[in-house]
Amino acid sequence: MTRLLFLTGKLAEHSLHQILQSIQADSKQSPFEYEVKQIGVSVAALMTPPLIARRLTKVENIDKVILPGLCQGDLAPLEAQWGVPVERGPKDLKDLPQYFGQQGKAPDLTQHSVTIFAEIVDAPDLTITQIVAKASHFRQQGADVIDLGCLPGKAFAHMTDTVRALKAEGFQVSVDSMRDEDLLAAGKAGADYLLSLHENSLWIADEVASTPILIPAKPGSFASLQRAIEHCLQRGRRFIADPILDPIHFGLTESIVRYHKLRKKYPEIAIMMGVGNLTELTDADTTGVNAMLFGMISELNINAVLATSVSPHASEAVAEADVARRIMYRARQDKRLPRGYSNGLLGLHDRKPFPYSAEEITSMASQIKDPSFRIMVSEQGVHVYNRDGIQHDTDPYQFYPALNVQDDASHAFYLGVELARAQIAWQLKKRYVQDELLEWGVASLQQNKKAKVAHREASIQERLENAHSQSNDNTTPDNTASGTE
């Protein structure tokens, strides 16, 4: 049986024992044996790998060491020193059962079955350099193909040069136009796909090597789309069919029926769905819209999507499509509901926003012996505590008179920032961790990455400097969190 060593701090030791005992009791068969070692610090953020290496020089009869999720730094030196794998657990102790419910491994979201076309809708108005920059942004968000949108009634004189420039940069390219001459020129310039051909313009597919995206010659005509499909099938020509997803109140439900009908009639063909008619044309957060659409895409085995990112509220639509296709693929493979795979589509709320009750927070507060403030959030509101007691409220302004930081501007500023975050988390039912940025799903993945690293490194350095200047009981500095030690 695997034997695990959990390293923890003073404040979390008791809770860690309780949770591990609960995991063992709830399991039909004990998933592991474990040992807990408290290494003499109060807070997880103080447990840097060099500090841990000094205080724990070796481990014996252990298969793996689990560090607190907030422990920062390179773990490779610890693995080399101890000769066993070392990994971070979840940021919050209350997430340990779920962590081990998945055998200690994150779900595999590396696979998917949907190609994302990201459309640059204003390509004729942009320079080639600007188009390449925008294409790079979309590729970073997860796009596989860059679609150049041609504007009706507007010349795109540098279209062929743009196709060649994108191809030179390693992009797959499609061109979307209502004009036959644009599509023919794009195909001859090397475009991989042409959006969109119908039964009356299929002659273009005979002139170029590009893969045609087929649509009905008349909106909503399934018969027209079927004739174009049969034409390509008879000639053994590769294609993708798109019945067109219509906006809400302009045929949405009927268009979904067309997708179902098309898949039922042609189980093996490639199908595309343009999701922009819902993400762009509905004033709703696009995370939920994409989740629903990609659920249908998964059930219907749709192979490609055309995504747009034009409206400000749809600025992350391509990235959301990337997360959604991976979640739905894995859930379908596992024959499970799409829950517990990723927080990428949970922008406003969290599934478990309040891991600690007000009673548990009060119990933790009773153990504090130093003047540093801790901030936590329960279902009842925001809690602030130190050795002098605990306050509870839902309005940050109510805390100020009793904090006694009127003469310490930097400390007051810090507490103001953290209390504002805590209030927002309570209002929206989001997870709050002191000194951590709030997470906003896929919108946080790229935007917060560098900021969080810089923030944590600066914060840890400051904490270490404070800790080294204090006595050996490791009194925590003013801006430390508890509850995740």
Question: What is the pLDDT at residue 45?
Answer: 66
Pair 97, 119 in one domain? no
Query: Which one of 300, 334, 368 terminates a domain?
Result: 334
The confidence band for 1, taking pLDDT boundaries of 50, 70 and 90, is: confident
pLDDT averaged over every residue in the chain = 88
> Who has greater pLDDT, 485 or 83?
83
Pair 156, 298 in one domain? yes
The confidence band for 484, taking pLDDT boundaries of 50, 70 and 90, is: very low
**Is 397 among the domain residues?**
yes
**Is 477 among the domain residues?**
no
Question: What is the pLDDT at residue 472?
Answer: 39
Provide the whole-model pTM: 0.78
Pair 298, 362 in one domain? no
> Which CATH number covers residue 262?
3.20.20.20
Question: What is the pLDDT at residue 450?
Answer: 44
Pair 58, 189 in one domain? no
Pair 83, 153 in one domain? no
In this predicted structure, the answer to whether residue 467 has a pLDDT above a threshold of 70 is no
**Is 295 among the domain residues?**
yes
Question: What is the pLDDT at residue 464?
Answer: 43
> Who has greater pLDDT, 367 or 266?
266
**Is 316 among the domain residues?**
yes
Domain count, the chain: 3
> Who has greater pLDDT, 417 or 364?
417
**Is 353 among the domain residues?**
no
Contact assessment for residue 251 and residue 262, using Cβ atoms and an 8 Å cutoff: no
Pair 71, 145 in one domain? no
Question: What is the pLDDT at residue 30?
Answer: 61
Which tens digit of pLDDT belongs to each residue from 68-112? 988 888 999 999 999 999 999 888 888 888 777 644 456 789 999
Question: What is the pLDDT at residue 105?
Answer: 56
Pair 93, 149 in one domain? no
Pair 155, 264 in one domain? yes
Pair 142, 173 in one domain? yes
Contact assessment for residue 179 and residue 196, using Cβ atoms and an 8 Å cutoff: no
Average pLDDT value for residue range 388-408: 93
Which tens digit of pLDDT belongs to each residue from 133-181? 999 999 999 999 999 999 888 889 999 999 999 999 999 999 999 999 9
Most confident of 60-64, 70-74, 142-146, 441-445: 142-146
Pair 163, 89 in one domain? no
What domain range is 38 assigned to? 3-101
Which tens digit of pLDDT belongs to each residue from 20-47? 888 887 766 567 889 999 988 877 767 8
**Is 416 among the domain residues?**
yes
Question: What is the pLDDT at residue 14?
Answer: 83
**Is 341 among the domain residues?**
no
Dihedral of CA 190/192/194/199: which sign? positive
> Who has greater pLDDT, 305 or 366?
305
> Which CATH number covers residue 84?
3.40.50
Question: What is the pLDDT at residue 28?
Answer: 60
**Is 154 among the domain residues?**
yes
Among the residue ranges 155-164, 199-208, 220-229, 442-451, the one predicted with the least confidence is 442-451
Q: In what order do the strands lie in the sheet with 172-176?
A: 240-241, 211-214, 193-197, 172-176, 145-149, 115-120, 304-308, 272-274
Which tens digit of pLDDT belongs to each residue from 316-352? 999 999 999 999 999 999 888 998 888 899 999 998 8
In this predicted structure, the answer to whether residue 466 has a pLDDT above a threshold of 60 is no
> Who has greater pLDDT, 100 or 3?
3
Pair 133, 262 in one domain? yes
Cα distance between the two ends of the chain: 27
Question: What is the pLDDT at residue 478?
Answer: 36
Among the residue ranges 166-170, 400-404, 441-445, 480-484, the one predicted with the least confidence is 480-484
Pair 328, 364 in one domain? no
Which tens digit of pLDDT belongs to each residue from 257-303? 999 999 999 999 999 999 999 999 999 999 999 999 999 999 999 99
